[in-house]
A and B are shown apart, each in its own frame.
Chain A
């Protein structure tokens, strides 16, 4: 008898109340960005790592490409932008973040007569959320590992007729040629950090050239102070999820990416994580779990299906499962706060960028995942192969093998995507997840 199927019921995950505050902050941020041009502010489009503190310190409004694409998907408004990109000729096997964001570029830009003709004919399409993103006054590319990120920015640069200044930050990939190369240590790592810091300083000079103002390093220190504190509280709150049942799930942490990825660094994000941590602590004290019944504790590897966060949270709750931690949420977004020196934050910022979930190669990545699986006492791994995010998907066979060998955990692998839901096949997901839960049950039965 199929245990998992037999037990599956329609259940809803217990949402944290703090999520509503997060959603409000996110909405406020986008509303503010959409007004930036009217208020005379410069706008920067960027992809990749969180360079927004630098932009904030320079009083520049910012649009993070992945965040924009994720927002559209989460609100089921990704269609017009993706359609615009497809109409321009971009293949749907291309990174869906890039396609969606470039589609925004097609919809919003009006800088050249040639590009106006590329706009979709349907005027309704032009009115959507995607078309409200203000056109950039500068583009900064800072993509870790994934070459697609740099090419995506190059396409935006060309889309806007090469008239918008662009600055490229080349992030070294942390490979580890020598035995001395360890996580966040060794000569190769330090050389990579030094090169990145050099480029961040040059980036600041580039920004000064555009704003015509001297960069305010004191402001950057202040902003990074808030970000560091917010991230520390976030990690503390995550660690509370060692409790059984886990008071929060991976899906709650995906909802908390914005404050440590692209929302302005200030008291609000610290306040948000304080409230969230207190709510989690309260759940721990009262034995309340994110899943109404927690029989299985899981790890999520891979990027999020942004159009299915709540739906997937309920789906796994229905399997009496809680996805407690994930590579995307727990191994990035200012996760190494201790190296951020507020007197000179660029080195620590660079280190956080270089240790994000795709910036380290598989051996170090697998080690970190094993650490999380052990700490949170997990039973299995969900490996979500985002079809158009090869950067995130490639190591998943190595993760399955590595974690499997070291901890004996079963895995469920399935394909999906971050913002193109056409790649997600629900019945396939059901069968894979159910098979993994069966394996967990069998493993438990053998150990009894």
Chain B
């Protein structure tokens, strides 16, 4: 493992500890946010470090007294962490995503952290209405005002443009790693890719970019490192990162994850922002166009079909099948999955659904399913390419 990757993996494994240490070292502020579409560039432009609050591996204990068990693992974990004081380093929490479970968790977190400003700046979930851009820009203006007021700073347009550039570089470097991985030029397990993306959500971007450059520069061209594994695509798991053990298990079963649309994966870095012109408009357009990078079931976009998009994505990366990781109680995913299943059945592309929970249960059971899936997909050979 490249030494830089070790640093990123450590930040990804213990995001709260990492951010707490960063704050102590720099004396700067930290602003938490909820997934998946919050434009952290705005926080970065204020001089504070934005951190996407993560699901913890810890069992849910005291948080269970604040939320019913039929909420998704991410939201229950966030409430649990807030209840235990794990977010003591956070100076404020700002968010804009409209998912009923995220909003629910936020309201409970606000109650559990009475001394912390928890600000909600709702980003319109309907992306193609004629007022979507205007409304998004208004929400961003309010967000900027809220950060300025809460942190006692002024954010200029130049500050925003500088942050956009830094974030774009970060996304481009990670996308470069994705490209290298798709072609087999670099051997990065899916869990390594998750460390890279997840650490980007919780680290100082300049520091993260420097480490990414080291990794990209170390790649020797031409190596084929798929190693005979079955190339597969992984889809799903929105707000919460799949357990690295699940990704490792999939790859230990003879598959190689060559691409994904995971939030802790390609979804997070799929789109850049315009670096010229009005930065607020650029951020709003980035938000409204994110579905072109990776369709999101929490957004309304009548022209986009996640199922069809996935078929094309599987085709493009040369995968022989797709594994869907579905977090239990994720309603947006529940709604769209039946259409994905049907599309893959019609196209005769092998796919497997694995439902996950916060409390990781039955890894061996999952292994049996994945082994069978890999065997079936291998026998099938190249799927029919109706998408192309």
Q: By the criterion CB–CB under 8 Å, are B120 and A166 in contact?
A: no
Contact residues in A for B368 (Cβ distance below 8 Å): none
Which residues of chain A (183-211) have a CB below 8 Å from chain B?
191, 195, 198-199, 202
Which one of B65, B70, B126, B339 lies within 8 Å of A390 (CB-CB)?
A: B70
- When C-beta atoms are compared, the residue in chain B nearest to A85 turns out to be B338
Tell me the smallest distance from the CB of B167 to a CB of chain A, in Å: 24
Q: Which 8 A-B pairs have the closest CB atoms?
A: A89-B338, A394-B104, A175-B120, A168-B126, A94-B334, A91-B334, A151-B335, A146-B100
- When C-beta atoms are compared, the residue in chain B nearest to A155 turns out to be B335
Q: By the criterion CB–CB under 8 Å, are A145 and B100 in contact?
A: yes
Q: Is B111 an interface residue (CB 8 A)?
A: yes
Contact residues in A for B285 (Cβ distance below 8 Å): none
Which residues of chain B (107-130) have a CB below 8 Å from chain A?
107-108, 110-111, 119-122, 124-126, 129-130
Q: By the criterion CB–CB under 8 Å, are A94 and B335 in contact?
A: yes
Which one of B71, B130, B342 lies within 8 Å of A89 (CB-CB)?
A: B342
Which one of A148, A150, A199, A385 lies within 8 Å of B300 (CB-CB)?
A: A150
Q: Is A162 an interface residue (CB 8 A)?
A: yes
Which residues of chain B (298-313) have a CB below 8 Å from chain A?
298, 300, 302
Q: Is A255 an interface residue (CB 8 A)?
A: no
Q: How many A-B residue contacts, CB cutoff 8 Å?
A: 129
User: In the bound complex, what is the Cα–Cα distance between A88 and B138 (angstroms)?
Assistant: 39
User: In the bound complex, what is the Cα–Cα distance between A415 and B119 (angstroms)?
Assistant: 31
Contact residues in B for A397 (Cβ distance below 8 Å): 65-68, 108
Q: Is A90 an interface residue (CB 8 A)?
A: yes
User: In the bound complex, what is the Cα–Cα distance between A90 and B334 (angstroms)?
Assistant: 7
Which one of A152, A157, A168, A393 lies within 8 Å of B68 (CB-CB)?
A: A393
Tell me the smallest distance from the CB of A98 to a CB of chain B, in Å: 8
Which one of A88, A170, A177, A396 lies within 8 Å of B126 (CB-CB)?
A: A170
Contact A398:B98 (CB < 8 A) given known A150-B300, A199-B131: no
In this complex, the interface size class of chain A, counting residues with CB under 8 Å from chain B, is 35 or more
Q: By the criterion CB–CB under 8 Å, are A398 and B338 in contact?
A: no
In this complex, the interface size class of chain B, counting residues with CB under 8 Å from chain A, is 35 or more
Tell me the smallest distance from the CB of A238 to a CB of chain B, in Å: 27
Contact residues in B for A175 (Cβ distance below 8 Å): 120, 122
- When C-beta atoms are compared, the residue in chain A nearest to B132 turns out to be A170
Contact A90:B68 (CB < 8 A) given known A147-B125, A168-B126: no
Contact residues in A for B126 (Cβ distance below 8 Å): 150, 168, 170
Contact residues in B for A140 (Cβ distance below 8 Å): none
Contact A158:B111 (CB < 8 A) given known A173-B98, A397-B66: no
User: In the bound complex, what is the Cα–Cα distance between A254 and B329 (angstroms)?
Assistant: 28
- When C-beta atoms are compared, the residue in chain A nearest to B328 turns out to be A93
Tell me the smallest distance from the CB of A145 to a CB of chain B, in Å: 7
Tell me the smallest distance from the CB of A80 to a CB of chain B, in Å: 18
Which one of B68, B131, B300, B341 lies within 8 Å of A198 (CB-CB)?
A: B131
User: In the bound complex, what is the Cα–Cα distance between A395 and B111 (angstroms)?
Assistant: 10
Contact mask B132-160 → A, CB, 8 Å, 1/0? 00010010001000100000000000000
Q: Is A19 an interface residue (CB 8 A)?
A: no
Tell me the smallest distance from the CB of A119 to a CB of chain B, in Å: 14
User: In the bound complex, what is the Cα–Cα distance between A343 and B44 (angstroms)?
Assistant: 48
Tell me the smallest distance from the CB of B296 to a CB of chain A, in Å: 11
Tell me the smallest distance from the CB of A115 to a CB of chain B, in Å: 11
User: In the bound complex, what is the Cα–Cα distance between A396 and B69 (angstroms)?
Assistant: 13
Q: By the criterion CB–CB under 8 Å, are B108 and A154 in contact?
A: no
